[in-house]
Amino acid sequence: MQTDCTPIQLEFQALGRRSVEAKFDAGLVTSDGGGLLLRESALAMGMMERVALCFQDFRDPSRREHDLRTLVSQRIYALALGYEDLNDHDQLRRDPLLAVLTGLEDPLGQGRSRERDRGCALAGKSTLQRLEQCPSCAEGDRYHRITYDSQALDRLFCEFFLESYAHEPRQIILDLDATDDPVHGGQEGRFFHGYYGHYCFLPLYVFCGEHLLRARLRPSNIDASAGTVEELAPLVEQIRKRWPKVQIILRADSGFAREQIMGWCEENGVDYVFGLAKNPRLVRKLAREMKRARRAYARTGKAARCFRAFRYRTRETWSRARRVVGKAEYLEKGPNPRFVVTSLETTPPQDLYEYIYCARGEMENRIKEQQLDLFADRTSAASMRSNQLRLYFSSLAYVLLQHLREFGLRGTELARAQCGTIRLKLLKIGALVSVSVRRIRFRMASGYPYVALFGQILAILRHSLSPG
The structure's pTM equals: 0.91
pLDDT at 436: 85
Q: How far apart are CA 370 and CA 398, in angstroms?
A: 7
At 24, which amino acid appears?
F
At 388, give phi and psi (nearest 5°). Answer: -65, -40
CATH 3.90.350.10 holds for 151-373:
yes
Measured between alpha carbons, how far is 2 from 280 in angstroms, rounded to an integer? 63
Other CB atoms closer than 10 Å to residue 322's CB: what's the count?
Answer: 21
CA dihedral 186, 192, 196, 197 (to 10 degrees): 100
The alpha-carbon radius of gyration of the chain (Å, integer) is: 26
**pLDDT number for residue 115:** 38
Continuous H helices in 115-257: 125-132, 150-163, 228-242
In sign, the C-alpha dihedral spanning 104, 109, 112, 117 is positive
Q: Report which DSSP code applies to 87.
A: G
What confidence score (pLDDT) does residue 121 get?
77
311 - beta bridge partners? Answer: 323
Q: Which of 262, 208, 217, 275 is nearest to 238 (CA)?
A: 208
Contact 176, 265 (CB under 8 A): no
Those residues whose C-beta lies under 8 Å from the C-beta of residue 126, and which sit 6 or more positions away, are: none
- Cα gap 318→258, rounded to integer Å: 8
Q: For the chain, give every domain's residue range.
A: 34-93+101-148+384-428+447-465, 151-373
One-letter amino acid at 220 equals S
Single out the residue of 236, 235, 242, 228 nearest to residue 268, CA to CA. 236
- Residue 70, burial from CB neighbour count under 10 angstroms (0-12, 13-18, 19+): buried
Per-residue pLDDT reduced to its tens digit, 72-121: 999 999 999 999 999 999 989 989 899 999 986 555 555 444 433 344 47
For helices 259-267 and 228-242, angle between their N-to-C axes, nearest 10 degrees:
20
pLDDT at position 118 is 42
What is the rounded distance in angstroms from the CA atom of residue 217 to the CA atom of residue 222? 12
Q: How far apart are CA 52 and CA 424, in angstroms?
A: 28
Residue ranges of the chain with pLDDT lower than 70?
Answer: 1-7, 104-120, 137-143, 464-468
Give the per-residue pLDDT at 8. Answer: 80
